[in-house]
Chains A and B, each alone.
Chain A
Amino acid sequence: MSGINDFAFKMGTVNGTGSASANGLLMQAIFRMGIPVTGKNIFPSNIQGLPTWYEIRVSKDGYTARPSEVDLVVALNPSTYAKDVATVRPGGYLLYDSTWPLDPDLVREGITIMGIPFGGLCVEHFQGDRDRTLLRNIVYAGSLAALLNIDMDVVSAMLSEKYGKKPKLLESNHKAMRLGYDYAKAHYACPLPFSLEKMDKTSDSILIDGNTACALGAVYAGATVGAWYPITPATALMEGFKSFCEKFRVDPETGLHNYAILQAEDEIAAAGIVIGAGWAGARSFTNTSGPGISLMQEFIGLAYYTDIPAVFFDVQRCGPATGMPTRTQQADLLSLAYASHGDTKHLVLFPANPREAFEMAVQSFDLAERFQTPVFVATDLDIGMNDWMVKRFEWDDNYRPDRGKVLDAAALEKIQKFSRYLDVDGDGIAARTLPGVGGKGAYFVRGSGHDKHAAYTEDSDAYQELVDRLTRKFQHAATAMPVPAFTLQEGADVGLVTIGGCDAAVREAADKLRAQGILVDVMRIRGFPFGEEVRDFMARHDRTFVIEQNRDAQLRSLLAIELGVPRDDMTSILDYAGMPLTAKTVVDAVTRHLAQVTA
């Protein structure tokens, strides 16, 4: 249960009132105290006025999954009082704004209710509606600092960093922080039974979101063309790319850009731009979410059929249709794996966190150019938009992009005839040329039927030869995808199979199950097509649970379709209501199922 450096708390506020910066401040302060911490921002698809929550989990053991219960709720949004008070664990605490009388909705047996007049303190000490509204957040952050024993020196240093150049703001923030802190100290026993103590467990880590990580990956991979259409939760990825490019890719002498970002008229055009640029030889990418992937289908098939590299970041959100744009899901697995009409199969990477998102972003460009095909990096809203504590990113200056088989003018000189789709090496990958190269290098890309010489065809044999080569290429790609991440235990006969952002919750669940005497092996799949390692793991475990965040067991379908694993040998654990997965969900499902089987 909860204790020192092991608890969770949650703020329920109204969006657009400035609570995000206060919540971020709290999380960062804990991180700087050396204590592992995770934050989940649960926000509405709205700019101002709707409920929003921020959950912070502190875990000395380094667990980063969403907590299944919270020890303390700060209830600042009357419209969600009833809901918020219900999420406090028995014996937990509720903190409310006592400027107003205690709302009957907030009254609950078995929890401790604490009131601090956040609003009243602001009215008393600050002028103007705007300041009073914004600083109310800093006041509750100050109270939490007292109740949870957050190091005020760390907080002061952070405020100075943030407002160092704006002395007035710095002063008012300091004052607000102090008001909340002092009031809590004066009226309540501080700290609470669960609180913070400095550790040294975060010095090798950073706090970063997955969209920023992917953007940085694109910069380091040498991507030069980015095309996109704004969409939640993917927008920040291109905005991140832009700001990194402004920092790293502007010629200091001329002010000119070594990059091109095109905000397209829609996702279809974004896909077209990326494919045009990929054909021309640039590393190009787009960032989107499910609705964008739906729109891009035709173009994805074109790139597949004509062997053109392109990278697509899909920051998945709750579908179908508009769905819940600010909630997370992993429900695009099938639509990515087989995107577009006709027989198509694609390479997909599944990072579990921002650190891996950075690495896979770089890798995606290598795979796309090596295999001359679309590559998808499938993150989700939770990975993309939340700040995660991950190990610092590293870079090896020896890295060189894998541009794949590209024939330049000199290489063309040495061959008799250039046939664009001729599989010389037997790996399904034919050498390409880039537009602009002379001699025999010119060829005609066509989405219509073409033969290995890139000539138009309606000939059955020539057609089949070409699409069979694409199958060969796909099979070959299976050997180049990242291998799964395994967490194995001696004597385990149950296998947990999972993907992407479920990672943290599933590994935590494995630990909790072990405490109950249930030994499980965990395989987190990191790429599609599946390699031999995936097949082996499925064969080695008689009983497997496939844990994923969609309704229709899409990962299980892929395993059944691609590897022939009997569907009924795999028990699905599905969590698809839009929130990040918790370990409890997994533990409960596994134990319930095993109890049924043995009963």
Chain B
Amino acid sequence: MTSIAKPPVRHPSSRTNGRGLTLRDYEGAMSTLCAGCGHDSVTAALVQAAWEMELEPHRAAKMSGIGCSSKTTAYFMKQSHGFNSVHGRMPSVTSGASAANRALTYIGISGDGDSLSIGLGQLSHAIRRNVNMLYVLENNGVYGLTKGQFSASADIGSMSKKGEANEQSPIDPILLALTLGASFVARSFSGDKKQLVPILKAGLAHKGLAIVDVISPCVSFNDHEGSTKSYKFTREHEVEAVHTDFVPLRREITVPETGEDVHAVTMHDGAVVRLRSTSPEYDPTNRESAYAHVRACQARGEIATGLLFVDEGGRDMHEMMRTVPTPLVDVPYEKLCPGKSAMDKLMERYR
């Protein structure tokens, strides 16, 4: 469980991004998760996404709660600020930090225990508040650190390592987020980096809360026959509903000539996300059809993936609160304190 620093070796041929940083510069401490853990792949995808997005490391804040997934904030972006808080409460801490300093990029990492059991309320209300953050939910259907109890995302009939079947109905974070009005809803698979990286990039560019549910198998406690969150099961049952390309602002946008149904969504910074539905009926900008599609996949035993829904026109927390564009931490005290003359005047009201 200790964190081990990686040796700062840099290969001379390492490519640098627009900030002159290599991929290694976006890495963190050595992971102490089990070999083969899906979470490490998500971490790698985040490193890739942050590097490609050219995030300024110290302007990003990594937020987490408690659990295997929450530990991973130590494993990427070592030059960023990090806050590993209490179980299930990352959303409120992030809400407060964002209220205080809206200029930072907030990356929240959580898991199915952290977000769907103890933290279900906090997740729901962060969605309602529309905190401007990327919310990655590393979903493995099991409590890993306490060795193999079912989590709230375990499917009915999914078998534990000890051979018991789960009987309680699962909470699907995607359906939950769609119901609560989330403005960016995606699902991916830790084993599909090609799909995951553009989704993470789009999530980082999104204004408001971008939730990305990543099926991320637990090799130690939930990767066996009979589990519906194993690598094997997920590979066999994943059905991509929408293919996502992320086009940063500075790159020229060319219209693909594939003849496919393409939705181009312009993010608030001007970048464009191109969404190619894999079926002509699917519209990732329509909440109702997205919901229906995920439900239909579920009924067939399939896992719908991709950037399932996006609405870039919504109001985020700060817009709803009508806060000044300057981060509140940077507003000078002189602007905050009404001063003596106002006080003297005010006292007359209490006479």
A residues with a Cβ closer than 8 A to B are 31-32, 206-208, 216, 219-225, 227, 247-249, 251, 254-262, 264-266, 268-282, 284, 298-299, 302, 392-397, 399-401, 434-439, 441-448, 455-458
Stretch among B85-93, B180-188, B189-197, B306-314 lining the A interface: B85-93
- On whether the beta carbons of B337 and A222 are closer than 8 Å, the reply is yes
- On whether the beta carbons of B329 and A456 are closer than 8 Å, the reply is no
Residues of B within 8 A of A (CB-CB), count: 62
- On whether the beta carbons of B323 and A276 are closer than 8 Å, the reply is no
Pull 9 A–B residue pairs with CB atoms less than 8 Å apart, ordered by A.
A219-B337, A225-B100, A227-B95, A256-B323, A276-B100, A299-B86, A438-B56, A442-B81, A442-B82
Which B residues touch A225, using CB under 8 A? 96, 99-100, 328
- On whether the beta carbons of B96 and A277 are closer than 8 Å, the reply is yes
Which B residues touch A220, using CB under 8 A? 337-338, 343
- On whether the beta carbons of A265 and B336 are closer than 8 Å, the reply is no
- On whether the beta carbons of B92 and A272 are closer than 8 Å, the reply is yes
**Is there a chain A Cβ closer than 8 Å to B325's Cβ?**
yes
Stretch among B43-51, B57-65, B242-250, B251-259 lining the A interface: B57-65
Which B residues touch A392, using CB under 8 A? 347
CA A207 – CA B297 in complex, angstroms? 65
Which A residues touch B328, using CB under 8 A? 224-225, 258-260, 282
Which B residues touch A207, using CB under 8 A? 350-351
**Residue from the set A206, A208, A276, A399 with the largest chain B CB neighbour count within 10 Å:** A276
**Is there a chain A Cβ closer than 8 Å to B125's Cβ?**
yes
Which B residues touch A282, using CB under 8 A? 99-101, 328-329
The residue that A248 contacts in the complex, of B58, B80, B342, B351, with Cβ under 8 A, is: B342
Which A residues touch B9, using CB under 8 A? none
Which A residues touch B100, using CB under 8 A? 224-225, 260, 276-278, 280-282, 284
CA A247 – CA B343 in complex, angstroms? 12
- On whether the beta carbons of A393 and B92 are closer than 8 Å, the reply is no
Cβ distance B259 to chain A, nearest Cβ, rounded Å:
46
**Residue from the set B73, B84, B122, B328 with the largest chain A CB neighbour count within 10 Å:** B328
**Residue from the set B82, B100, B325 with the largest chain A CB neighbour count within 10 Å:** B100
Given A220-B338, A435-B81, A456-B74, check contact A256 B92 (CB 8 Å): no
Given A258-B336, A269-B125, A299-B86, check contact A276 B93 (CB 8 Å): yes
Which A residues touch B344, using CB under 8 A? 395
CA A280 – CA B61 in complex, angstroms? 10
- On whether the beta carbons of A436 and B57 are closer than 8 Å, the reply is no
Cβ distance A11 to chain B, nearest Cβ, rounded Å:
22
Which B residues touch A216, using CB under 8 A? 346
CA A549 – CA B321 in complex, angstroms? 40
- On whether the beta carbons of B61 and A435 are closer than 8 Å, the reply is yes
- On whether the beta carbons of A256 and B324 are closer than 8 Å, the reply is yes
B66-88 vs A, CB cutoff 8 Å, 1 = contact: the mask equals: 10000001100011111111100
- On whether the beta carbons of A455 and B3 are closer than 8 Å, the reply is yes
- On whether the beta carbons of B121 and A262 are closer than 8 Å, the reply is no
CB-CB nearest in chain B for A219: B338
- On whether the beta carbons of B351 and A394 are closer than 8 Å, the reply is no
Which B residues touch A401, using CB under 8 A? 333
Cβ distance B281 to chain A, nearest Cβ, rounded Å:
36
Given A268-B92, A280-B97, A436-B58, check contact A444 B2 (CB 8 Å): no
CA A444 – CA B337 in complex, angstroms? 32
Cβ distance A189 to chain B, nearest Cβ, rounded Å:
32
- On whether the beta carbons of A277 and B97 are closer than 8 Å, the reply is yes
- On whether the beta carbons of B58 and A298 are closer than 8 Å, the reply is no
Given A220-B337, A265-B122, A442-B79, check contact A276 B94 (CB 8 Å): yes
CA A434 – CA B57 in complex, angstroms? 14
- On whether the beta carbons of A395 and B339 are closer than 8 Å, the reply is yes
The residue that B122 contacts in the complex, of A251, A272, A281, with Cβ under 8 A, is: A272
- On whether the beta carbons of A276 and B95 are closer than 8 Å, the reply is yes
Which A residues touch B104, using CB under 8 A? 280, 435-436
CB-CB nearest in chain B for A400: B333
Excluding A32-B351, A227-B92, 10 further A-B contacts by CB distance (< 8 Å) are A221-B337, A224-B329, A224-B331, A258-B323, A258-B328, A262-B129, A268-B122, A269-B95, A274-B96, A438-B56
B148-164 vs A, CB cutoff 8 Å, 1 = contact: the mask equals: 00000000000000000
CA A276 – CA B93 in complex, angstroms? 4
- On whether the beta carbons of B97 and A397 are closer than 8 Å, the reply is no
- Shortest 10 CB-CB contacts between residues of A and residues of B: A276-B96, A272-B92, A282-B100, A273-B96, A280-B100, A276-B93, A435-B81, A206-B350, A277-B96, A438-B58
CA A259 – CA B328 in complex, angstroms? 7
CA A397 – CA B333 in complex, angstroms? 11
Cβ distance A2 to chain B, nearest Cβ, rounded Å:
26
CA A259 – CA B322 in complex, angstroms? 9
Which A residues touch B343, using CB under 8 A? 220, 393-395
Which B residues touch A259, using CB under 8 A? 323, 328, 336
Which B residues touch A227, using CB under 8 A? 92, 95-96, 99
**Is there a chain A Cβ closer than 8 Å to B103's Cβ?**
yes
**Is there a chain A Cβ closer than 8 Å to B299's Cβ?**
no
Given A394-B343, A401-B333, A435-B104, check contact A277 B351 (CB 8 Å): no
- On whether the beta carbons of B101 and A254 are closer than 8 Å, the reply is no
Cβ distance A302 to chain B, nearest Cβ, rounded Å:
5
- On whether the beta carbons of B340 and A396 are closer than 8 Å, the reply is yes
Which B residues touch A249, using CB under 8 A? 336
Which A residues touch B82, using CB under 8 A? 442-446
- On whether the beta carbons of A397 and B81 are closer than 8 Å, the reply is no
Which A residues touch B89, using CB under 8 A? 268-269, 272, 298-299
Cβ distance A461 to chain B, nearest Cβ, rounded Å:
15
CA A265 – CA B331 in complex, angstroms? 27
Cβ distance B274 to chain A, nearest Cβ, rounded Å:
32
**Is there a chain A Cβ closer than 8 Å to B335's Cβ?**
yes
CA A299 – CA B95 in complex, angstroms? 15
- On whether the beta carbons of B2 and A458 are closer than 8 Å, the reply is yes
Cβ distance B141 to chain A, nearest Cβ, rounded Å:
24
